[in-house]
Amino acid sequence: MYKRQAEWWRDFGSNELDALIDTALKSNRDLKIAAARLAQARALTDGAQADRRPQLGAVAGAQRGRETGIDPRAERSFAGLRASWEIDVFGRGALAIDAAEADAQAASQALRATQIALAADVATAYFELQTLAHRVALNRQAIAVAQRQVEVVRRKFDAGQATSVDVDRWQAELAQEQAVTEQLDGSRRIRHRQLAVLLGVSEAPALNLQASATAPQAPATLLPGELLERRPDVLRQARALDAALARVGVARREVYPRLQIEWANTRERTAIVGQSASPQVVLGYGVSLTLPILDGGRIRANIAVNEAKANEAMAEYEKAMLAALSDVEVALAQWSTSEASLAKWQQAQAAGETAAQRAERLFDAGLTDVSSVLDARRSYLRAQDAVSQAEGARWAAAVGLRRVFAGAV
């Protein structure tokens, strides 16, 4: 089930779209940034775990001169090993690890959210390009019809059957169709360039845009709890809240004493300058206990800061849950609206096609002129354009549903 959710775009049945999203998931820069942040969070978790383990290091040094208990003419040198281990009596270190692990889990959910958003953005751009390409082709047909209308009305004007107003009106119609086509073609080029950025490449690949995709399916019913468990943005905020609460615990435990075991094994040589002495092995071990007594309110301030951060994380978590539920309601409304709109426009397209066919038959029978045929064709092309836009809106709604459902619907 998780794999199906993770690769939900394959349900659309478009190999071209699959290839685009695969490229984006490998090369997109935002995704690489999110992956780098996850690597940082995991490394910080390793660091927090290392702080709880015994520490061992090499020590060496040399000195000459006065020091308490040593002749002022003495020189001293030493080298060896020193180890220390802070016993986590009150759970400070364990809570620090919990906070780091929660941060890593939050980063992992952030990466997953970025992957879902990236796949949805690529799919949206792809279907928009399909819609724009189809609309450009339809508008070019509309330009040809408008040009034919201008030719017809000019002949009627020359024959005294039309006025100059009719000529000007159809020339304006032609100019409008040409302007719309230029706008659509410009939007197509811009969207193609934006797709290249999403893919993480300098030049977007040439697209076929003719391969048919499987019609999007209606979403399945999800309970609110199941939805929230699928949303990585909600899970990310939940893990961020866990991390904040763990850090509150760490801050509060700063008032407790620290217990540390220390051990050292060195070879030391102490002698009067100019004299020789044999090095001696010095072994030392002990236990130290430290307890803050007066720190000027630093610990209390740190506790207050972390409690405020925990309250912020709680508010962010609640906001993410509300936003997730709202997103689903909006996406479902867009889906139902797009479905209803597409059905109505398809009816209009069917009626326009019938009208165009009847106009052609009447023209062939000599019962109407070519202007009526061209008017019917233009109406039919407009209906086709509306259907294309409605289909694009449905694809956008289908992708939006999968975005807010965090995978397959």
- Spatial distance between the Cα atoms of 398 and 372, rounded to a whole number of angstroms: 39
pTM: 0.85
- Enclosing H/E stretch for 83: strand 74-87
Indicate whether 379 pLDDT > 90.
yes
End-to-end CA distance of the chain: 11
DSSP structure class, residue 202? S
Contact (Cβ atoms closer than 8 angstroms) between residue 204 and residue 193: yes
Residues 246, 99 contacting (CB under 8 angstroms) = yes
Q: What is the pLDDT of residues 194-234, one digit of tens each?
A: 999 999 998 888 888 865 667 777 777 777 788 888 899 99
Whole-number average pLDDT of the chain = 89
Q: Is the distance from CB of 405 to CB of 230 less than 8 angstroms?
A: yes
Calculated CA dihedral for residues 135, 141, 144, 145, nearest 10 degrees = -100
pLDDT band at 66 (very low <50, low <70, confident <90, very high): low
Q: What mean pLDDT do residues 72-80 have?
A: 75
Per-residue pLDDT band at 294 (split at 50, 70, 90): confident
Averaged over 182-192, what is the pLDDT? 94
Higher pLDDT, 6 or 71: 6
User: What pLDDT was estimated at residue 389?
Assistant: 95
- The confidence score (pLDDT) of residue 274 equals 59
Q: Render pLDDT for 131-144 as a digit per residue (tens, 0 to 9).
A: 999 999 999 999 99
CA distance 64 to 269: 12
pLDDT band at 69, cuts 50/70/90?
A: low
Q: What is the mean pLDDT of residues 248-271?
A: 88
Handedness of CA 33, 39, 41, 43 (dihedral sign): negative
pLDDT confidence tier of residue 2, bands split at 50, 70 and 90: very low
**pLDDT for res 218:** 74
How far apart (Å, rounded) are the C-alpha atoms in residues 265 and 78? 10
pLDDT class for 70, splitting at 50, 70, 90? low
Is residue 232 within 8 Å of residue 406, measured between CB atoms?
yes
Contact 203, 196 (CB under 8 A): yes
* Integer Cα distance of 175 and 45 in angstroms: 65
Residues 382-406: pLDDT tens digits? 999 999 999 999 999 999 999 998 8
Residue (of 145, 136, 129) closest to 180 by Cα position: 136
Query: Other CB atoms closer than 10 Å to residue 388's CB: what's the count?
Result: 20
Tokens of 34: 């999110």
The answer on pLDDT for 249 being more than 60 is yes
What letter represents residue 27's amino acid? S
Query: Where residue 1 falls among pLDDT bands split at 50, 70, 90?
Result: very low
Closest among 214, 155, 298 to 17, alpha carbons compared = 214
Q: What is the DSSP letter of 368?
A: S
Q: Provide the token pair at 37.
A: 């942040």
Q: Which residue would you say has higher pLDDT here, 245 or 65? A: 245
- Whether residue 111 is predicted with pLDDT greater than 80 in this model: the reply is yes
Is pLDDT of 301 > 70? yes
pLDDT tens-digit map of 8-28: 898 888 899 999 999 999 999
How high is the pLDDT of residue 196? 94
Q: Which two tokens stand for residue 326?
A: 């709202």
Task: Identify the helix (H) or strand (E) that includes residue 62.
Answer: strand 55-64
How far apart, in whole angstroms, are the C-alpha atoms of residue 357 and residue 377? Answer: 9
